[in-house]
Chains A and B, each alone.
Chain A
Amino acid sequence: MSRIAAGEAQAFAALFERRQADVFRFALHMSQSPSIAEDVTQEVFLQVMRDAGRFDPGRGGVASWLLGIARNFVRRRFEDERGRFVPLDEQEFEREPKVAPRQDGALERLARTERIELLRRAIVTLPLRYREAVVLCDLQELTYAEAASSLGCAVGTVRSRLHRGRALLAAKMMRLEGLPGVDIPDDRDRPRGVRCFA
């Protein structure tokens, strides 16, 4: 980062090559829009170009820092497009055909593919704070500490949001699979004494 701040084009290019996919995939999972993912990736690295000197390794790694910037741009994009960008709502999601519960061979694989597709669409219906936790921890495979650094939250808050987000996803999937649901933990499960302004 210090080399980038000093203007070394090769260091900047190397960072882009190494990290652009992480940023792109985060924005893609958050928005399900490749064009938004392209825009966010570009904006993130343009900001890195301007603010590389502000990177503080004591507050987290480079990947966490980049994904934190990406998260802000994604949120800004959603706010800019509020009214135009309409994520699938619950009703639309539930109109999807049910996946056959048990099949063998090719049908089983097809069912699995459909299940993944439904899950992909279900993620977009999650409230942002839960979606961010699911994407960072379970799709990007960041540790709780890394995700907390990206989101500017306590580790316990990330864990709580992740568990809540997964429970919401599970409830949607169980309904679609025609399986009995289980209760979903509510926000009362949030650790006491943990405050997050993210």
Chain B
Amino acid sequence: MNCTSRRRFDEAIVELARGASVRAEVAREVEHHLAVCDRCAAVLRRERLVTSGLRGLAGMAAGAGASHATRERVLAAFAARQERQPAAWSFSPAWLAAAAALILASIGSGWAAWHVRTPRPQLAAGGAPLTHGERVLEGFIPLPAAGGMPDLESGYIVRVDLPVGALPAFGIEFIPDPGSIQVQADLVVGQDGQPRAIRLVLDEQNSRSGP
């Protein structure tokens, strides 16, 4: 026997086949109907077949996710955006100049990837060298703003061009050549994209001078 009420139970049958909750009285009514209606019984079998396949498909994709490279790109973009936005930072114009230099350097030059693993490095206070386990990262000076940041777990060293006028904001008292307008520096950028420490590149050939 086939039901004559046009698809009266179709919606409930689909929901039952999906494993969704259906009101008890509706479920009972459908159950009684399925016993006597070939068409609706076929619909239920069809829907269960679809549900089984979809669950299998969902299971096959359960572990899928974005790659590490995508993660790094997205997080780096967020960090770069925050560096560009004055509202999010309460630093001096010198800081902003340094951030701009950081962004340009990250786009235009190769990154020296430096993934730090345990033990966690500690930022020393008072301008002492940055340490990573027993290794001393020669010449790096913690930035004044790095004290309140989370521990450095991993990061990069990025070489940037900095305006000489920005150096005091990094806690560096440096007397450059009279004609010098920029100096090169290495920045330690942490896992959150925030700069932690700085080291000047004392290479005369790499320093740019003004006209």
Q: Taking beta carbons and an 8 Å cutoff, which residues of A are in contact with B?
A: 6-7, 9-10, 12-13, 16, 20-21, 23-25, 28-29, 34, 37-38, 41-42, 45-46, 49-50, 112, 115-116, 119-120, 123, 134, 138-139, 141, 159, 162-163, 166, 169-170, 173-174, 177, 180, 182, 185, 189
Contact = CB atoms under 8 A, between A and B. Distances in A.
A85 to B, nearest CB: 20
A42 B61 contact: no
Interface residues of B, number: 42
Interface of B: 7, 10-11, 14, 18, 39, 42-43, 46-47, 49-51, 53-54, 56-58, 60-61, 64-67, 70-71, 73-75, 77-79, 81-82, 85, 87-89, 150, 192-194
A166 B47 contact: yes
B74 A16 contact: yes
SS class, residues of chain B in contact with chain A: helix
Contact of B71 (A20, A46, A119): A20
A16 B78 CA distance: 11
B139 to A, nearest CB: 26
8 contacts: A16-B74, A23-B66, A34-B64, A37-B66, A46-B77, A119-B56, A163-B10, A166-B14
Contacts of A42: 66, 70, 73-74
Contacts of A170: 46-47, 49-50
A10 B50 contact: no
